Amino acid sequence: MKASKVRELDGAELRKQVGENDEQLFRLRLQLNMGQMEGLKKYRALRKDKARLLTVLREREQASK
């Protein structure tokens, strides 16, 4: 997900996306531990998306203070 799209979302949607991202990361981590390496690129992309989401949430938190 692009940073510009992330910035368009409101706080509730961002938190929802972080939760969904965590679930997907958990499932992919299980698959990787079981030896299925097809999801490695997707795993890395999800980690980066989660970082973008958390960064935007933190920026908004800091801006409100």
Residue keyed to tokens 């990787």:
32
Range of the domain at 8: 3-60
Rounded CA separation 56/17 (Å)? 12
Interval 40-52 mean pLDDT: 92
Domain annotation covers residue 34: yes
Residue 50, token pair as written in the block? 């989660």
Residue 47 has what pLDDT? 95
Question: What length is written for the chain?
Answer: 65
The tens digit of pLDDT for each residue in 48-61 reads 999 999 999 999 99
Domain annotation covers residue 29: yes
Q: Is the pLDDT of residue 39 over 80?
A: no
Mean pLDDT for the chain? 90
Domain annotation covers residue 65: no
CATH number at residue 46: 1.10.287
Number of domains the chain contains: 1
Q: Is the pLDDT of residue 20 over 90?
A: yes
Q: What stretches of the chain show up as alpha helix (H) in DSSP? A: 3-8, 11-33, 40-64
Residue 33, token pair as written in the block? 């531990």
